[in-house]
C-alpha cells in the first residue's frame, strides 16, 4: 500500500499539465490566436461542402470573394455571407487588382 501511495504522489508531481487552446474552433478545426497573432489548426476536418459560398476564408486567414483568382481552388474554408463578416472574423481581404492584401477593414 505504501509503495502504491508513493507511486501515485510521484506521478502526480511529475505529470505535465496540458494547455488548453483559447477560443472555439471554426468549421476547419482552426482558430485565430489573438495573443500570437496567427491562425492555426488543431483538428483535421473534411473539405467544406459549401462550394458556392459568397465569401470563403482560407486556412491562411485570407478572405476570397467569388472574383478572387483562388476562390475556386479552396477546399478548406469557412463560408461567409459577405466580405465584411469575413474581415470582422479576423480575415484579410484580397485585392483583386494587385493580388495583395488589404490590412484595414473598410
Average pLDDT (84-91) is 90
7 within domain boundaries = no
Share the mean pLDDT of the chain: 76
103 pLDDT exceeds 90? Answer: no
Query: pLDDT band at 2, cuts 50/70/90?
Result: low
CA-closest candidate to residue 103, choices 61, 71, 67, 75:
61
72 within domain boundaries = yes
13 within domain boundaries = no
Structural domain of residue 44, as residue ranges?
25-96
pLDDT digits (tens, 9 = 90+) for 8-50: 555 555 544 444 555 688 777 877 777 877 777 888 778 778 8
The reported pLDDT for the residue numbered 13 is: 52
62 within domain boundaries = yes
106 pLDDT exceeds 50? Answer: no
Q: Are 92 and 101 in contact (CB under 8 A)?
A: yes
pTM assigned to the model: 0.57
What whole-number distance in Å separates Cα of residue 54 and Cα of residue 26?
17
71 within domain boundaries = yes
Q: Are 47 and 67 in contact (CB under 8 A)?
A: no
The reported pLDDT for the residue numbered 75 is: 87
48 within domain boundaries = yes
Give the count of domains, the chain. Answer: 1
105 within domain boundaries = no
Amino acid at each position: 500500500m505504501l509503495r502504491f501511495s508513493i507511486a501515485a504522489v510521484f506521478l502526480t508531481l511529475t505529470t505535465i499539465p496540458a494547455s488548453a487552446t483559447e477560443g472555439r474552433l471554426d468549421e476547419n478545426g482552426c482558430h485565430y490566436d489573438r495573443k500570437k497573432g496567427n491562425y492555426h489548426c488543431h483538428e483535421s476536418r473534411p473539405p467544406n461542402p459549401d462550394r458556392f459560398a459568397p465569401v470563403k476564408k482560407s486556412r491562411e486567414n485570407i478572405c476570397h470573394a467569388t472574383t478572387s483568382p483562388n476562390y475556386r481552388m479552396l477546399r478548406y474554408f469557412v463560408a461567409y455571407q459577405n466580405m465584411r463578416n469575413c474581415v470582422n472574423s479576423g480575415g484579410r481581404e484580397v485585392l483583386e487588382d494587385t493580388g495583395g492584401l488589404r490590412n484595414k477593414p473598410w
